[in-house]
Structure 1
């Protein structure tokens, strides 16, 4: 799995192949915290809404209109009042362990890789990425188990009229916490949940083995329109 990873140091070896970029921004360590408002130079189109800002929340989700502290995952659809992208919504505490990082890319090899990946997963669109926003939770711990680790990532890819979300998974420890993976919209007009991840006693190895695009450890979704279909619907 290619992970669009942003860090200054190379992590311990894992089954994931990291694609390195530099100079990410780090979010302050806290329990149930969030990033400040992050301006997006290229607006991200999310099911008909165009957003020029985003928040990276500690508990494994992204929101657009404000920070969100929620650490208790709910099964999608929520039928709520916010748009949310949840690569790994659970109770996370990185006060002692792990880093949460983000960066928007407007040029370079990250855009080239994103363009290649999207055209592979969604053929026929002649897609070209113009912006890639990467949020990475690197070796963060579950609350209150400070010895645990989970590494995962959300990649928001913009190309004008088209937009996509990739969710990547590295090494993830087993946990008894509930986990929600997927996305939801205001009033749940559009939503998608990866059902075998909601519940307790999640085995971290499963995250590195499953996929909807035949790339173990990765899920890909088109998010500019109402369809959530991908080239491959099977699990690997």
Structure 2
């Protein structure tokens, strides 16, 4: 992730984090964007509460766990999220800045204590999950295997008409039900297509998301295979029977 992050943005973010650790709140407030100041009634109290969540002393390690940027001709925005590891806890720090007309301001700054590292909390484990999570995982495996079965069956079947249309139809599932493996949150998308009707993905240091779709093309092909098959194959099938 550091390879895609500007050293200037990292230096700026760590500068503000250092000011927070040193409790130099006035210097931070001077660089907070005016739009944020209008929304906040007591910035000093908020900054003191944030500083209180950070243990004294140097962290054991500092990881850049997320980064995003927006750049145009006159504006540059960066959002960096760091994980600070201390002997007895982890701290997540989100700092977002913008540079406009040569002036850098803070547009977001927050601190959150973690009971364990993001890597540990978002790791893939089978224990302690809800029935919905287990069900989505099982259905994803079944849907993927069934789609592969139907795809191989379609490729091996001599058919009337354009076989490649059926192959494309089989390759993609429709709609999708996704579940966050770490939190159990779920999301249903009625307008969606998914390769082989299943997926499992996780961003760097993020939670796994398991998704399953309806293998509609695979189901229809398996049900209609006999009527789609070429006459020669139908005759062979009848003789074998």
Structure number with the bigger relative contact order (C-alpha 8 A, sep ≥ 6) is 1
Which structure has greater helix proportion?
2
TM-score normalised by the chain length of structure 2: 0.25
Larger Rg: 2
TM-score normalised by the chain length of structure 1: 0.25
